[in-house]
Structure 1
Amino acid sequence: MAPHTGQHFLQIPGPTNVPDRVLRAIAAPTIDHRGPEFAALTTEVLEAVKPVFGCSGPVVIYPSSGTGAWEAALVNTLSPGDRVLCWETGHFATLWSELAGKLGLEVDFVAGDWRHGVDPEALAERLRADRTHAIKAVMVVHNETSTGVTTRIPEVRAALDDAGHPALLLVDTVSSLGSIDYRHDEWRVDVTVTGSQKGLMLPPGLGFNAVSANALLASRTARLARSYWDWEPILLANERGYFPYTPATNLLYGLRESLRMLAEEGLAAVFARHARHAEATRRAVRTWGLELLCQDEREYSNSLTAVLLPEGHDEADLRRVILERFDMSLGAGLGKVAGRVFRIGHLGHFNDLMLAGTLGGVEMGLRLAGIPGKPGGVTEALEFLAHS
């Protein structure tokens, strides 16, 4: 690649660009993780993160990726041979279900088309049919990063309630927390899983479990093997402001700063900003004559947009042209939609001018890559941004 001037546009749906304030916080000197200054940091962060989850109970923080937090949610609540119900909403739902199988769980995997979220009516039907309550947990990805589809979690909870089923509700919010409205307590989620590298505006490296009282109760009898992921020693150490192992001190500095930024803007304003940028992006896509992968407007993601290319065109070629010519990275198609779909990330530390530049790069790239369509998507998006 030829040298580029200016700033690289990282428009994948995570890891996202990290704000300067957070980078400066992370660059602070490392402190003694057994000393009083660290205890104060831990106490502050564990309390400040709760409003982002919409929870009043404990949040467990691991030095890990979101995949580690997936595993933690399972091993702390379930036993070998337990049955879990999963929905094929995309690549990450598929990976989580595969992880469950590797841990020795019995996985009921409901096939999907990668263009819709969990069907609440079909979920309720399956739960009503489970008269012996063999299903111990329902695993749902809130916002599928591979497809730009957001499952309606309140309706998932309603399906569990309507069926009178006691299964735990485990929800992945890796690409939604801090970007899309989410309410752990109100929606009675038992374990909410997320990672640091998207809406929380940090580099990768922290995994999270927000835990309900029911989940804590389940953890007392769960028999899947766990050591590093065990909630109990972490929660006990957290009471004094510490961890039972070496924590990611500098990422916790960054988390403290990113939580301050979210609080300063206000979560309602954060969610509204993401919704506005997502709608502007969708208007651009439609103007170009391209198709959104998500087919239900109730499920449009506000943190990313997945776009289908016409038959005979490869998203890898488009992304290569855009990277080489405009120094911008877009998300690749994953799994079943590899080669057909590219993804535009518009989440995290992001504003109108950054979106305008992103969509400008996409529109120029579509033309250079020879993909049929109409110009004017950027103009349509700017009109919306100017008047909304």
Structure 2
Amino acid sequence: MSVANGRALLAMPGPTNVPDRVLQAMMRPAEELSSTTIVNLTETLLGDLKAIFRTTGETFIYAANGHGGWEAALTNVLSRGDKILVLASGRFAIGWGETARFMGAEVEVLAGSWRAAVDPAAVEERLRRDTGHEIKAVLTVQIDTASGVLNDIPAIRSAIDAAGHPALYMVDGVASIGCMPFEMDAWGVDVAMSASQKGLMTPPGLAFVAANGKALHAHQRATMRTPYWDWTARLNPLLYMKHCGTPPEHLMFALRAALDMIFAEGLEAVWLRHALLASATHAAMSKWAEGQVLSYNVVEPLQRAPSVTTILVDGDPAAITDYAQQVCGVTLGIAIGDLSGKAFRIAHMGHVNAPMVLGSLSAVEMALQAKGIPHGSGGVAAAIAYLGTHAREVAA
């Protein structure tokens, strides 16, 4: 007998749960594309995205998913034949590099692990050997959504600087922006990109790119540029040019509501909420791991992402994910890439609170019990205990 009826819960790493306020913001008629409302909406969103990325550089909004954001970032700063260095730590930096290769770049992958963060020392060593500065850009992700690895973005910047290398530093923040600290200017990131459907609590369909002065200078000589993604066109004061045509109005109204919610909570408070809920998830997982069937994909605790936890299963993870969805109404993330059929993922990102995460963890623990999968007992209790100790009442 299923107990899944009721409001379904997404505990997968994108798309994530969309707040009612964000959904309601889209329930309005379309407007003339150059109306005062749409012009003001565009300007406020571009300005507020600077606050989200923590940059004084330029920001751009695209009707696209994260893969479109990858292409937008690459085409504006690279030329065909340019060499780039991709820092592997799972699936998504590799995917970004594959996009660059398809577009005409020469791609070198710095080998890494699906279970550990990028090694800054290895980055420095490779760049020191590039005495002719053939490498034009270094690409990495802050969080790899597939592996659950968290990379140290400022440490990689320090490695690039220590090598004295002029390459552009480009960071994918799809699974991190709105979930954890990201300081584009302070960390020396030249190009950053993200998308709407994870920490920014908006339906899929918007991609964002931020560029600093160094990136804008590189843009002037880039030959990969194409009309839709082009920054020069989108910096035109005419609204039609800023969107290369009709704006994605209703997704922009949704984003406006989502950003208003983030700013009302406070960006730092959002980051802390994610950290607390991630640690509660880790407390549960550490108990379950005592049964020696479940284990962390990411070995080092400090390298585990605050937005998604990837869990290895000695057996069939579908027994857990299918049960959670069919019996409990909770959709967990299936594993992808090298971990396909070997793991599942629990997302704790975006529009989530303690009951939602505890509910997801309870669905997992129910599945473990119902399917007779060996596990340490008391995982959910450990998560509750963690939050009971570390979450605090907000002063009136």
| Contact residue 2 and residue 328 of structure 2 kept, 8 A | no
The amino acid of 1:19's aligned partner reads: P
Tell me how far 1:93 sits from its aligned partner: 1.6
Mapped pair 1:74 → 2:70: no
Distance 1:242 1:78, change over 3 A: closer
Aligned partner of 1:306 in structure 2 is: 310
What amino acid does structure 2 have at the position aligned with 1:355? Answer: V
CA positional deviation for 1:102: 0.8
Partner of 2:11: 11
Q: Structure 1 counterpart of 2:103, which letter? A: L
Matched, 1:323 2:325: yes
Tell me, yes or no, if structure 1 residue 370 matches structure 2 residue 372.
Answer: yes
Q: What's the counterpart of residue 64 of structure 1?
A: 64
Q: By how many angstroms is 1:117 displaced? A: 1.7
In 2, Cα distance between equivalents of 1:135 and 1:366: 48
Q: Distance in 1 between matches of 2:10 and 2:260?
A: 23
Deviation string for 1:156-198 (max 9, x for gaps)? 1101111110000110000100001001111111110100000
Aligned counterparts of 1:323 and 1:139: Cα–Cα separation in 2:
35
How far did residue 314 of structure 1 move?
A: 1.4
- What residue in structure 2 maps to residue 361 of structure 1? 363
Q: Would you say 1:96 and 2:100 are equivalent positions?
A: no
Matching of residues 258-337 of structure 1 within 5 Å: 258-289=258-289, 290-310=294-314, 313-337=315-339
* C-alpha contact 2:240 2:247 (8 A) present in aligned 1: no
Equivalent position SS for 1:17: coil
2:266, 2:112 → 1: CA distance? 36
* Deviation (angstroms), 1:35: 1.7
Please name the residue that 2:184 is paired with.
184
Q: TM-score, normalised by structure 1?
A: 0.96
Q: CA deviation at 1:369?
A: 2.8
In structure 2, C-alpha distance between the alignment counterparts of 1:252 and 1:239, rounded to whole Å? 14
Q: Which amino acid is the alignment partner of residue 127 of structure 2?
A: L
The AA in structure 1 aligned to 2:110 is: V
In 2, the alpha carbon distance for the partners of 1:234 and 1:185 equals 22
Other structure's SS at 2:60 match: strand
Query: 2:236 aligns to what SS in structure 1?
Result: helix
Amino acid aligned to 2:330: M
- Give the superposition deviation at 1:298: 2.1
Q: Which residues in structure 2 correspond to 1:17-56 (within 5 Å)?
A: 17-56=17-56
User: Does the 8 Å contact 1:137/1:169 carry over to 2?
Assistant: yes
Sort the Cα spacing of 1:241 and 1:76 in 2 relative to 1 into closer, same or farther, 3 A. closer
SS of match in other structure, 1:143: coil
Aligned mates of 1:315, 1:44 — CA distance in 2: 44
TM-aligned CA deviation for residue 336 of structure 1: 0.4
Q: Which amino acid aligns with 1:356?
A: L
Partner of 1:380: 382
Instruction: Report the CA distance between 1:308 and its aligned residue.
Output: 0.9
Deviation track 1:326-354 (CA, whole Å, cap 9, x = no partner) reads 11110011110111110000011111111
Task: For residues 105-135 of structure 1, give each alpha carbon's deviation from its aligned partner in whole angstroms, at most 9, with x where no partner exists.
Answer: 1111122220112110000000111000000
Moved more, 129-138 or 222-231: 222-231
Q: How many residues align?
A: 386
The alpha-carbon deviation at position 244 of structure 1 amounts to 2.9
Unaligned runs of 5+ in 1: none
Deviations 1:188-236 (A, max 9, x none): 1111010000011000000110011111110110111412111111111
**1:237 and 1:244 in contact (8 A); partners too:** no
Question: Is 2:147–2:310's contact at 8 Å kept on the other side of the alignment?
Answer: yes
Equivalent position of 1:233 in the other structure: 233
TM-score normalised by the chain length of structure 2: 0.95
- Report the Cα distance in structure 2 between the residues aligned to 1:242 and 1:135, rounded to whole angstroms: 31
Q: How does 1:103-114 map to 2 (within 5 A)?
A: 103-114=103-114
Q: Helix, strand or coil: the match of 2:86?
A: strand
Stretch of structure 1 that moved more, 274-283 or 102-111 = 102-111
Residue identity matched to 1:111? A
- Separation in 1 of the partners of 2:169 and 2:371? 44
Structure 2 partner of 1:162: 162
Q: How far apart are the structure 2 equivalents of 1:248 and 1:381?
A: 40
Equivalent position amino acid for 2:109 in 1: F
Structure 2, unaligned runs of 5 or more: 391-396
Bigger mean CA deviation after superposition, 316-325 or 144-153: 316-325
